[in-house]
Structure 1
Amino acid sequence: MSISLKKLRLLAQASAFVLCLAVSGAALAASAPAVKGPQVESPKRVLLVGNSYLYYNDSLHNHLRRMVAAADADLGKALQYKSATIGGATLAHHNVDWLTGPGQIGIKEPFELVILQGHSAAALSEKRQADFRTAAAAHAKIIAERGGKVALYMTHAYVPPHKQAKPENTQLIDDFYVKTGNELGALVIPVGLAFDEAYKRDPEIKLHNAQDHSHPSLLGSYLAAATVYATIYGKSPVGNAYDAYGQVDAKTAAFLQQVAQDTVTGFFARK
């Protein structure tokens, strides 16, 4: 009997140890963002810097601007958005010093917020990670010197049959962007997590372009805009009337808006 009890105790201790490792692993996997909400109240002068992930489907900045205007007409009229994109670009390809110079691209006053979106594979190798961090740090320094704040756009993962699609990619992207955002004191916009959550809730939804399984579809761009809106304005997109001029049906819009809000709320609640 004593041997059996001893075995039970050992098994219990082993189980507790495994559970502890699992919890620790989960905690490490879901590292907390240091910046928990918008650093600029109702930003009007916003620059988005990135590549085709932004400019597909009539450009993310247009969907975002229309979503803001649908929620607050006065704020919508005051917006000064610009988007600087280069196909296939990394952050290092952009001359942020020139782009953010007052008046250079038609905005006389300095940008209040600059959203940086890197290459879709930026988190997937050590070299790409290092390149992204170097460029992001250099850009952040310039933006800060001009009185602006930085937000990092967490890209979504590839999906099959894309040759680089892997189940672990979303976690790699999440970890990398949170770590980099914390190093820079930058807001992180969890678009990649919103895509992942939408697929978990509805595996049949089509958020990726059917041709390459990398770029966003219109629904993907809509979800991204709702996630950016919830993150940088600190307001829920749920109930927003913008429907991409009838291209997103009411049920789908409501679904994507809720996913965006839940993702952002959960992301900022991490400890």
Structure 2
Amino acid sequence: MGWSHLRAFALLTGFLGAMPAFAEVKPEVTALNQAPHSALYVGNSFFYYNNSLHAHVREFVLRAETKNNFRSVSATISASGLNWHDVAAYFRPDAVGSYSFDAQNRVIFTPKGQKPFDVTILMDCSQCPVHPELKTLFTEYAEKHAATVRANGAEPVLFMSWAYQNVPEMTGELAD
């Protein structure tokens, strides 16, 4: 058996051995109540870099068979935790998301009285949910911001980052 076959076998064995751990982690909520037409991304550089998560989602929406006038806004602070964000301020009337631009660069104002976002995706710093000194802040602000989002008529979605490459045990901790 050559090195490439041995390496493939080792990877497959490791993956199959880890499958029970993946199977144990089941989120309580697996779908939104309805398909959103607008989203607010609240987080940090994980949402912003590499052409931003909201831009990639928009590309999926634009290429979908069913056309949807999906709009999104990203409120990101580099290296931030959820406690750095004033989520209530993002829902003030005539503020974030109160207008956008169409393909011809014309201003499109959000109709008065329309809720600014259908869904708000919240992300804490990558290690905050499992860090001994920060995980209580994560819990506190995830709950606080989720309540704020719901009070403004949107659905909160918690986005958990991936484990660090050199700390694979973070996967289980983040999933829990």
TM-score normalised by structure 1 residue count: 0.49
The structure where helix makes up a greater share of residues is 1
Listed as ranges, the matches of 1:4-15 within 5 Å are: none
> 1:139 pairs with 131, 138, 145, which one?
145
String of CA shifts for 1:1-27, please: whole Å, max 9, x gaps: xxxxxxxxxxxxxxxxxxxxxxxxx57
1:106 Cα deviation (Å)? 2.9
Equivalent residues of 1:123, 1:173 under 8 A apart = yes
Aligned partner letter, 1:173: L
Segment of structure 1 superposing worse, 96-105 or 62-71: 96-105
> 1:156 pairs with 143, 155, 162, which one?
162
Please give the alpha-carbon distance, in whole angstroms, between the structure 2 residues aligned to 1:171 and 1:146. 32
Aligned to 2:81: 90
Aligned partner letter, 1:105: V
Is 1:30–2:18 an aligned residue pair? Answer: no
Equivalent residues of 1:29, 1:171 under 8 A apart = no
Aligned to 1:66: 59
1:73 Cα deviation (Å)? 5.8
1:148 Cα deviation (Å)? 0.9
Aligned to 1:128: 134
Please give the alpha-carbon distance, in whole angstroms, between the structure 2 residues aligned to 1:86 and 1:28. 31
Relative to 1, partners in 2 of residues 1:72 and 1:29: Cα closer, same or farther, differing over 3 Å?
closer
Question: RMSD of aligned C-alpha atoms?
Answer: 1.9
1:28 Cα deviation (Å)? 10
1:125 Cα deviation (Å)? 1.9
Please give the alpha-carbon distance, in whole angstroms, between the structure 2 residues aligned to 1:81 and 1:122. 25
* Structure index of larger Rg: 1
- SS of residue matched to 2:134: helix
Gaps of 5+ in 1: 1-25, 160-164, 176-271
Please give the alpha-carbon distance, in whole angstroms, between the structure 2 residues aligned to 1:30 and 1:128. 25
Relative to 1, partners in 2 of residues 1:73 and 1:27: Cα closer, same or farther, differing over 3 Å?
closer
Aligned partner letter, 1:170: T
Please give the alpha-carbon distance, in whole angstroms, between the structure 2 residues aligned to 1:28 and 1:67. 27
Please give the alpha-carbon distance, in whole angstroms, between the structure 2 residues aligned to 1:94 and 1:124. 19
Please give the alpha-carbon distance, in whole angstroms, between the structure 2 residues aligned to 1:28 and 1:57. 27
Aligned to 1:44: 37
Percent of aligned pairs with the same residue? Answer: 32
Equivalent residues of 2:163, 2:169 under 8 A apart = no
Relative to 1, partners in 2 of residues 1:44 and 1:126: Cα closer, same or farther, differing over 3 Å?
same
The structure where strand makes up a greater share of residues is 2
- SS of residue matched to 1:48: strand
Please give the alpha-carbon distance, in whole angstroms, between the structure 2 residues aligned to 1:168 and 1:145. 36
Aligned partner letter, 2:32: P
- SS of residue matched to 1:98: helix
> 2:48 pairs with 42, 55, 67, which one?
55
Listed as ranges, the matches of 1:1-271 within 5 Å are: 30-39=24-33, 41-72=34-65, 74-75=67-68, 78-107=69-98, 108=110, 109-110=114-115, 111-159=117-165, 165-175=166-176
- SS of residue matched to 2:67: helix
Please give the alpha-carbon distance, in whole angstroms, between the structure 2 residues aligned to 1:122 and 1:30. 22
